[in-house]
């Protein structure tokens, strides 16, 4: 059984139009980060939506998605075990920090005491001890970003997608938060697929870089995406 996240001949597009990109096949192993780059409109965010099962039904999609050898292509989002982080933290404003984290806990974490302990441990890992009752609006941007990561990881995903989660942070905070995300996801041996326009993100990821070219620009491209590297 192949572990990690596997995309096999994935493509998508709109009815009556050419596909957004040629068939994409790649594999991301446990703890590995594959960086996906490409111009605006090439389908990067739409691809991530397809992987999570949230793609707008107006799109026509094909190809297989496997997580740890299991085909999840036809499963609803909640059964795919694929987490995602966006540019915005998307914390629920009407819930406390602790309630935001509790929302992500799987049903297997049962009992009030066990759930409180899991939340407290997660906050300690994020250097946010004692923040359970805080209103998200009182947090700094960096703190909100860390809560979003902790929430994603508490859901116990089998793979993690990163849709430019560092893009809106200033340079100093960006580097710190990127390290925080990579270290915590690697500690859980999660395969990661990251969309980014910043070469520094790809360098920090220390993994393959795949360019998602628009279909019109990829007429001569191979059906399997070829990794490339940024110079350090």
pLDDT of residue 217: 52
Task: Please choose, from the candidates 115, 113, 119, 117, the residue with its C-alpha nearest in 3D space to the C-alpha of residue 97.
Answer: 119
Lowest-confidence region among 100-109, 161-170, 179-188, 218-227 = 218-227
Reported confidence tier of residue 221, pLDDT bands at 50, 70, 90: very low
pLDDT of residue 224: 46
Q: What is the spatial distance between Cα 182 and Cα 192, in angstroms, rounded to a whole number?
A: 9
Residue 220 clears pLDDT 60, i.e. is over it: no
Residue 218 clears pLDDT 80, i.e. is over it: no
Reported confidence tier of residue 164, pLDDT bands at 50, 70, 90: very high
Q: What is the mean pLDDT of residues 144-171?
A: 94
C-alpha pair distances (Å), 118 with each of 19, 64, 98, 186: 44, 34, 10, 19
Residue 219 clears pLDDT 50, i.e. is over it: no
DSSP sequence for 87-113: SS----TTS-HHHHHHHH--TTS-SHH
Residue 129 clears pLDDT 60, i.e. is over it: yes
Of 83 and 217, the one with more pLDDT: 83
CB atoms within 10 A of CB 27: 16
pLDDT of residue 232: 43
201-211 per-position pLDDT tens digit? 999 999 999 99
* Domains by residue range for the chain, with CATH: 1-81+157-232 (3.40.50.300), 92-155 (no CATH)
33-74 per-position pLDDT tens digit? 999 998 888 899 999 999 999 999 999 999 999 999 999 999
pLDDT of residue 222: 41
Whether 159 contacts 81, CB under 8 Å: yes
Residue 157 clears pLDDT 70, i.e. is over it: yes
Residue 184 clears pLDDT 90, i.e. is over it: yes
The mean predicted confidence, pLDDT, of the chain is 90
pLDDT > 70 fraction of the chain, expressed in percent and rounded? 91
């Amino acid at each position: 059984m192949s572990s990690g996240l596997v995309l096999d001949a994935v493509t998508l597009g709109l009815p009556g139009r050419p596909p957004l990109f040629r068939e994409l096949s790649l594999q991301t192993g446990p703890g590995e980060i594959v960086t996906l780059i490409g111009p605006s409109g090439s389908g990067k965010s739409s691809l991530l939506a397809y992987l999570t099962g949230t793609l707008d039904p107006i799109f026509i999609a094909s190809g297989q998605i496997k997580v740890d050898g299991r085909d999840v292509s036809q499963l609803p989002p909640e059964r795919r075990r694929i987490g995602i982080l966006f540019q915005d933290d998307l914390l629920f404003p009407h819930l406390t920090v602790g309630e935001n984290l509790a929302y992500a806990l799987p049903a297997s974490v049962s009992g009030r005491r066990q759930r409180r302990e899991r939340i407290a441990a997660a906050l300690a890992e994020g250097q946010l001890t004692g923040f359970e009752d805080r209103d998200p609006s009182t947090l700094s941007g960096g703190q909100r970003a860390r809560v979003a990561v902790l929430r994603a990881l508490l859901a116990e995903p089998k793979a993690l997608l990163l849709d430019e989660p560092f893009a809106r942070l200033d340079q100093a905070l960006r580097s710190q938060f990127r390290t925080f995300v990579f270290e915590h996801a690697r500690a859980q041996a999660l395969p990661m697929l990251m969309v980014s326009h910043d070469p520094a993100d790809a360098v920090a990821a220390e993994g393959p870089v795949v360019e998602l070219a628009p279909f019109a620009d990829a007429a001569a491209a191979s059906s399997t995406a070829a990794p490339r590297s940024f110079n350090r």
